[in-house]
Amino acid sequence: MRMSVSLTVNGKPQSLDLDTRTTLLDALREHLKLTGSKKGCDHGQCGACTVIVEGRRINSCLTLAVMHEGDSITTIEGLGNPDDLHPMQAAFVKHDGYQCGYCTPGQICSAVAVLDEMKAGVPSHVTRDLEEKARFSTEELRERMSGNICRCGAYSNIIEAITEVAGKRA
Amino acid sequence: MRAFEYSRATSPAEAAAIVGRTPGARFIAGGTNLLDLMKLEIETPAHLVDINGLGFDRIEETAEGGLRIGALVRNTDLAADKRVRRDYGLLSRALLAGASGQLRNKATTAGNLLQRTRCPYFYDGNQPCNKRKAGSGCAAIGGFSRNHGVVGTSEACIATHPSDMAVAMQALDATVETVQPDGTKRAIPMADFHRLPGDTPQVETALQPGELITAVTLPKPAGGTHIYRKVRDRSSYAFALISVGVVVQADGTGRVALGGVAHRPWRIAAADAALPRGSKAAADILLAGARTTHENAFKLPLVERTLAAALAEAKEAQA
């Protein structure tokens, strides 16, 4: 079965005619040619496909494109570009927050959303007092970033990059 | 993935009616579990009815002083709700112990209750599994069974229910509200919602075909100290080996529910009553009649020790 869907990707309205089975990730990569979002496990376990939908990070491999009629989506391409890096992208470069780079777009989209979640007061598993706003700490960032796997093991540099951006924002 | 029809529901009664009368039709909300299983062709719905447009995304106070949580409230929003954090800390803690930030942003309250087991033999289409294909057998019995159930199991199935949230809902005496295909509504206590496997492990809940969850309600706050302890192979983003949820009052009375040990969140009234006598007394009741495999006998002492740790933590918090 085919169906049309209209969504806004990185600020640009898009209309697609898709097989209903098309995931949001495949719509972005195969139909809109935005190949920054990566397909790792395709089962929501690795986080390489993380994009920001309506301000929230999600696994784009575990949702159907047709379920996002009217939604606004930000991918790594929408955060910044080589001539105008998003602060999180610049911090990942500065701190060497990757080796092969495959997980990096998902890491960066996730990290940008994590800082917004903390700002909005969303608690985490390691937040000690549920009634208080969580404070920025390595422990908080590690817990909140656990849905993004880096098989090169650049975790400590990733945390340094996010910490730097968090510090500038605070 | 198999091809399917897709439609967006405009009312709960319409959604229930379509799924009730269409063979192979399923509701889809967050989709984080269903789509995963559809990719593996373990789930092969012919028609998906998208219920995301139905509302059900609010948390409201009830006349009885409790909360009515819409079926589509996302796990992130439920865990972050100020009333939940203040009065039902066990629920926040359980939600935050599960999945990843990305998944919690999508996963819904109702979908969390309905998620399928993570038994590897259920996921492997080349293996027998009575839950995936009724009558085909159980490869987990005698197989890799380190993370399987120890109580309430059957000869047909030893799978566990994977949800953390459901453990908290069980301990908090939640009720599941539904609408049926003919439009009638009913309320199912959590205690009656999930089934034991018996000889029909493919039937996991009390829901009838086409019956749609609209909300989960919590009674007025129980007070006490709320603790959720989850033991897993890594410190984040992993399913429980076992988990313990407790609500402990200042006088030592309280409630206890377990995750990772059975086909459903595990709670026994007599174990609640035994809590003031300590972790051993309560664990003995919770685990009475346990049947372990060669790989998961460790869960029995782990439950007792984790319960002891939870009770000690509660005592410390109350001191």
Percent of chain B with pLDDT over 70: 100
Nearest of B222, B99, B215 to residue B165 by alpha carbon:
B99
Give the other-Cβ count within 10 Å of B4's Cβ.
20
Specify the pLDDT at position B307.
98
Count CA within 13 A, CB hemisphere, residue B282: 32
CB contact under 8 A, A62 and B5: no
Q: What angle do CA A68, B101, B104 make, to 5 degrees?
A: 60
Give the other-Cβ count within 10 Å of A67's Cβ.
24
**Which residues does chain B have within 8 Å of residue A140's beta carbon, measured at their own beta carbons?**
none
Q: How far apart are CA B99 and CA A125, in angstroms?
A: 11
**Which residues does chain B have within 8 Å of residue A67's beta carbon, measured at their own beta carbons?**
28, 31, 50, 52
Average pLDDT, chain A: 97
Percent of chain B with pLDDT over 90: 100
Q: Chain A contact for B152, CB < 8 A?
A: no
Choose among A1, A67, A127: nearest Cβ to B31.
Answer: A67
Indicate whether A169 pLDDT > 70.
no
**Which residues does chain A have within 8 Å of residue B236's beta carbon, measured at their own beta carbons?**
125, 142-143, 146
Give the β-pairing of A56-59 and A50-53: antiparallel
Choose among A43, A145, A147: nearest Cβ to B36.
Answer: A43
Q: How confident is the model at residue A168 (pLDDT cuts 50, 70, 90)?
A: confident
How much is the average pLDDT of B181-207? 97
Indicate whether B220 pLDDT > 80.
yes
Each residue of A78-119: pLDDT tens digit? 999 999 999 999 999 999 999 999 999 999 999 999 999 999
Shortest Cα distance, chain B CAs vs residue A46, angstroms: 10
> Phi-psi category of B278—alpha, beta or left, where left has phi over 0 and alpha has psi -120 to 50?
left
Each residue of A118-154: pLDDT tens digit? 999 999 999 999 999 999 999 999 999 999 999 999 9
Which of A64, A129, A155 should we substitute to test contact with B (largest number of B Cβ atoms within 10 Å)? A64
Give the other-Cβ count within 10 Å of B208's Cβ.
12
Specify the pLDDT at position A115.
97
Written as six digits, the tokens of B306 are 């984790």
Specify the pLDDT at position A170.
54
Specify the pLDDT at position B45.
98
CB contact under 8 A, B236 and A142: yes
Specify whether the CB–CB gap between A87 and A168 falls below 8 A. yes
Each residue of B162-172: pLDDT tens digit? 999 999 999 99
Predicted ipTM of the assembly: 0.97
Each residue of B138-152: pLDDT tens digit? 999 999 999 999 999
CB contact under 8 A, A130 and B89: yes
